[in-house]
Amino acid sequence: MERVLSGIKPTGKLTLGNYIGALKNFKNYQDNYETFIFIADLHALTMPIDPEELRQNSIDIVAFYLAAGLDPEKTTIFLQSDVPAHSELNTIIQNYHYMGELSRMTQFKDKSRKMNNSAIGLGIFAYPVLMSADILLYNSDYVPVGEDQTQHVELTRDFVHRFNERYKTNVFKMPKAITPKVGARIMSLSDPTKKMSKSDPKGDIFLKDDLKVIRKKIMSAVTDLDTNIYYDPENKPGISNLLTIYAALSEISIEEAEATFKDLHRYGDFKKAVADKVIEVLEPFQQRYNEIIKSNVINGILNDGAKKASLVANKTLLEVKKIVGLYVHE
Ligand code: TYM
């Protein structure tokens, strides 16, 4: 059976961008693929974070996975740091990743630009190597992600070519990123030329935001002076972003969303329709999240997930060790 793997990093609060670009799509795989979905907690340490916040964020992500329809009977849900093979494979394969290619990664450039040069941790630079390890340990065929992560999957693919060629092996499977047709890049509501990210409280919709706050944020989203509603990301980035959010959450195409609003010439009415749609989706999602947090299921799910994931990951790790010459005795 083909395999699917993805993960979310527990830094900050999850956004509607995370939901549309990644989270809501994960459940679509669990019936037809062997699916591994994890919490990328080691990745969260690449930026300064309070330990208690990190722990809480990780628990939240498990609850979000379940609230988004992941079934732990079908999907292996686990915490990255519970499976030491991730760190170990990372240590091995970092030697086959190049400084040049890592320094060209957009995420690294963005994050390091915002920080003082001497205080940039090595982890943020080496981040995509760990991500390669995550993907390759499970022989993943498909990696569902938002657009901003495709560059990292491309890097993994380059590495797979290089490694398999060098050792004349096919130990690493060639993974492929899958991005959603609609909503692979949700933009900030306060500046629709920027990606919606976990660190932008004004332009973000957080999954745990109060529903009234969500409505307010959408009603005050930055748009333009025109009154027509159509998709043109270059000239109408705000309206195009709202159309994308509406289409993604309604599971329809952008064209269908445009057709829904073609006779509407008041942005206020349009924003209200978008806000209604977001609330229609997030209200039951938040209810499920609250029930899951109150129940005591998370520990058990993570324990089982760690066991199942370790079996697969350790097998790949052992093969790699043999290939590179690290395996000397039984
Ligand atoms: P992270 O935690 O930044 O984001 C989680 C997922 O959400 C997507 N996403 C978006 N999609 C659409 N619009 C947006 N504005 C938006 N913002 C975020 C991301 O593309 C991602 O799919 N490095 C990863 C975590 C990771 C991972 C992996 C993913 C670690 N190892 C292996 C897949 C496979 C990350 O930081 O995602």
Give the span between the Cα atoms of 79 and 54, in whole angstroms.
Answer: 12
CATH class of 211-291: mainly alpha
- Which residues contact residue 227 at a Cβ distance below 8 angstroms, ignoring those fewer than 6 apart? 265, 266, 267
Question: What's the pTM value of the predicted model, to 2 decimals?
Answer: 0.96
pLDDT surpassing 80 at residue 117: no
Task: For ligand 1, atom 16, name the residue with the nearest CA.
Answer: 17
Report the atom number in ligand 1 closest to the C-alpha of 195.
15
Neighbour count for residue 179 (Cβ, 10 Å)? 20
What band does 197 get if pLDDT is binned at 50, 70 and 90?
Answer: confident
Backbone angles phi, psi at 323, to 5 degrees: -65, -40
What average pLDDT does the structure give for the chain? 95
The helix (run of H) or strand (run of E) holding residue 37 is strand 34-39
For atom 18 of ligand 1, the residue with the nearest CA is 18
Mutating to test ligand 1, I would choose from 26, 135, 136, 149 the residue with most ligand atoms within 8 A of its C-beta, which is: 149
- Least confident residue range of 49-63, 72-86, 187-201, 287-301: 187-201
Centre of ligand 1 from the C-alpha of residue 6, in Å: 8
Residue of the nearest CA to atom 14 in ligand 1?
A: 17
CA dihedral defined by 320, 107, 185, 282, rounded to 10 degrees? Answer: 80
pLDDT value for 230: 96
25 CA → ligand 1 middle, Å: 12
Position 302 confidence tier, pLDDT thresholds 50, 70, 90: very high
177 band by pLDDT with thresholds 50, 70 and 90: very high
3-183+296-324 CATH fold: Rossmann fold (3.40.50)
pLDDT tens across 212-225, in order?
A: 999 999 999 999 99
Position of tokens 């806000």?
Answer: 275
* pLDDT band, residue 111 (cuts 50/70/90): confident
Q: Please state, in angstroms and rounded to a whole number, the distance separating the CA atoms of residues 20 and 249.
A: 7
Q: What pLDDT is recorded for position 245?
A: 98
Q: Assign 112 a pLDDT band (cuts: 50, 70, 90).
A: confident
**pLDDT exceeds 80 at position 60:** yes
User: Can you give the residue ranges of every domain in the chain?
Assistant: 3-183+296-324, 211-291
